A and B are shown apart, each in its own frame.
Chain A
């Protein structure tokens, strides 16, 4: 499966890691829904660290859509909420 970290690019991960990522993803979503900024930063860092450790970078010239997209490491909770609430926000 292909996972994109916004601002960093795409990584390829084996399907077997999906349950672990889902768990971390759920924690991140909880923090977003609760408006918990420190929790959001903590969970995002954990999730991104895991994805970077488990994945291998997709070559730049490879053209494919991602199965999962994650916010970049320096995103704020407000930015992520905005991305989720309004798809019109994504330019390009």
Chain B
């Protein structure tokens, strides 16, 4: 049997199971309609999740270039201070940040595509649910249980297939979102741990700390040499520090 025929039968089997549930086929209409409304809600929530994830990726995408720039400045500063190790570390991280940025761009596009598909699917589903509701009312008003059976079957098979299709689209979007959440979480961790600096500059990464330590060390050195030049050559430091008291200690006791 052809692949497309097999798939059609698999979807139809699902609808038949729904029809077998109720004694009166007209009960199936209400049950199915309830399921449809639930599905519409689920798809709406799914869409909101996808949109949230996309926003998060967008935010990270805006942070990463600033991080890369900062790392480049740090590399220059490290190199200027004669610290090749710091410069190398900063450049390695900068390259990682750029790679993340490229990956995020792809993922964002992927997520946008999922969002578009799900939006279209929701629109189709809503149109079909509305059609189902109208058909349901007609069947319930105009037909006896026996007569209704065929008509219920047609309506339920049609909508059930649509629900299966939308359900698959939902699963796919959820999978993609979950993958992306995991990656976004990892990047957040990197930003938080200071391995990549937050674009707001609120946290300090270890390279920055080292550069600042070096700069404060050299400030201290400069201050020391200034003091050394100011003091008389050869005078012991102790004298300089205890120069205040006019009398020797022995005189006090």
Contacts and interface: CB of A to CB of B under 8 A. Distances in A.
A91 B168 CA distance: 7
Nearest to A5: B165
Interface in A1-54: 3-4, 6-7, 9, 21-22, 25-26, 28-29, 32
A26 B168 CA distance: 24
A7 B165 contact: yes
A8 to B, nearest CB: 8
B131 A63 contact: yes
B194 interface: no
B127 A71 contact: no
A18 to B, nearest CB: 10
Given A4-B165, A68-B8, A90-B11, A60 B124 contact: yes
A29 B3 contact: yes
Contacts of A84: 3, 6-7, 10
Interface stretch (B62-70, B97-105, B153-161, B232-240): B153-161
Q: Which of B39, B128, B130, B157 has most A Cβ within 10 Å?
A: B128
Given A26-B2, A29-B2, A90-B10, A7 B169 contact: yes
Chain A interface, >50% SS class: mixed
Given A61-B127, A91-B164, A92-B167, A66 B11 contact: yes
Given A62-B158, A92-B163, 4 more contacts: A65-B15, A80-B3, A83-B7, A90-B10
B183 interface: no
A22 B2 contact: yes
Nearest to B169: A7
Contacts of B121: 7
Contact of A63 (B2, B135, B164, B170): B135
B4 A68 contact: yes
A78 interface: no
